[in-house]
Amino acid sequence: MTALWTSGEAEAATGGASTAPWSASGVSIDSRTIAPGDLFVALRDRRDGHAFLASAFAAGAAAALVDTLPSDLPAGAPCLVVEDSLRALEALGRAARARSRAMVFAVTGSVGKTGTKEMLRTALGALGAVHASDKSYNNHWGVPLSLARMPREVPFAVFEIGMNAPGEIAPLSRLVRPDVAIVTTVAPVHLAAFDSVDGIAAEKASVFQGLPSEGLAVINRDIPWSGVLEGEAVRAGARLTGFGREASDMRLVSAEIRDQATVVAAEDHGRPFVFRLSAPGRHLAMNATAVLAAVAGQGLDLARAALALGSWSPPEGRGTRQRILLGPSGLDGAIALLDESYNANPAAMGAAFEVFAATSVEDGIGRVRRGRRLAFLGDMLELGPGAADMHAALARHPAMASIDRVHTAGPLMRALHDALPPERQGEWHPDTEALAARVRALVDAGDAVMVKGSLGSKLSRVVDALRALGEAVPVTIEGGQS
């Protein structure tokens, strides 16, 4: 098998020097998950990767990229010594992009980046091999790491680009040099770092600065900031294609939400077609429309890509569905779990409420004798000075009428708790650990439960408590075109 990196190639890319010849089949920055044959990159972040070199080599690392040689380095362990390990990782990513002939897609946006990236992985997978960034590797180390892992010969590659502050997206886009760049949407997220949503729109639009001349910019035509996105794309010399419910090249005509699926009717330049997603959600239908706009805009096989989306499933914590079987083989009934615990903002909360409203419950099997929709919500973070008002405003969302009880945790969610009518007002706790401890008393067989909050709010504790009630089994449906 052809090596992903040899010592000579890595030296040429980074300007470093190897202590001995080596070749690597992968790249890793985490000694806990390293695979045999990986190049271990010792980054200096919250923890210094140089402290884990022994663990990395014990796990089978082929070599390590370091900016200093520790005294306790295992004997004979080959190292690539560079001036700065993060800059060297970026150089590896840049070299991987330069040698690749892949059609490269980049995805950014306030909401839906990871789901859309995974939809692209699925849709393009019907047309050829795809390299895509893992998880949400979308920041200053995640993007170059994903690039450095890109195989030499792969026809398609998909990268997610994110930001927490102004000026972060454009450099990452220039590193990726995408042929296609998608902005899913613009919403009031990360307002703690921006003066207004206009600033967020400008930052998202900067993804087009990495496009080559005649690259493809995929723009959401439904949002008020579409003009900002289009202006930046035009300045970059890009081709434009739009998606959305309004007049667009790829128009979302309708999205019929079912309990475990979404049937989508769309039009490609006025030509109608129908496809299905194996998860419910109008927001998912919009993301899929963006994906298909990119596929069609590049002249790829739209029909095969749309059919493939029937097998897509949401990433962990972003709409994952499970049934928690209670008692032996579910003898005591089950709880339907919608896990949205990875991230949250007002737009994503509203979309999740709509999906949850269509989730079925079961009557007559629990101690309550009536299935209920129960929401467990944690703080939405990085929203700036208006955060409390944004939390309280969730009480007025139309889909809230379909939720029987809302349990909350965190200081910001206190605003929602106080804004809810008494009949929907569940328990409030200062943190998710306290809320998780109450799960067993608050749910019952036949209930549907949604868990959502920002990653930093640690709603995964509530998800873990729910799964601990019984046997968690995935909910799947057969994908395909309708």
Q: What is the mean pLDDT of residues 34-41?
A: 96
Tokens found for residue 85: 């390990």
The DSSP-derived string for 276-298 is EESS--HHHHHHHHHHHHHHHHT
Question: Global pTM?
Answer: 0.82
Sequence-ordered strand ranges (E) for 56-146: 63-66, 79-81, 103-108, 130-132
Q: Return the SS3 of 254.
A: strand
Cα angle 480, 284, 378 (rounded to 5 degrees) comes to 135
- Spatial contact of 64 and 49, defined as CB atoms under 8 Å apart: no
Evaluate if residue 113 carries a pLDDT over 80. yes
Q: What is the mean pLDDT of residues 406-419?
A: 97
Q: What is the mean pLDDT of residues 438-460?
A: 94
Evaluate if residue 28 carries a pLDDT over 60. yes
Tokens found for residue 448: 């549907």
Which are the contacts of 91, defined by CB distance < 8 A and separation ≥ 6? 13, 14, 15
The predicted pLDDT at position 1 comes to 60
Strands 38-41 and 26-28: parallel
The CB-side HSE value for 256 (13 A sphere, CA atoms) comes to 8
The predicted pLDDT at position 482 comes to 30
Phi, psi of 436 (to 5 degrees): -60, -35
Average pLDDT, the chain: 93
Encode pLDDT of 336-390 as tens digits.
999 998 888 898 899 899 889 988 899 988 888 899 999 999 999 988 889 999 9
The predicted pLDDT at position 331 comes to 85
User: In the chain, what percentage of residues exceed pLDDT 90?
Assistant: 79
The predicted pLDDT at position 478 comes to 42
- Rounded to whole angstroms, the Cα distance separating 186 from 108 reads 10
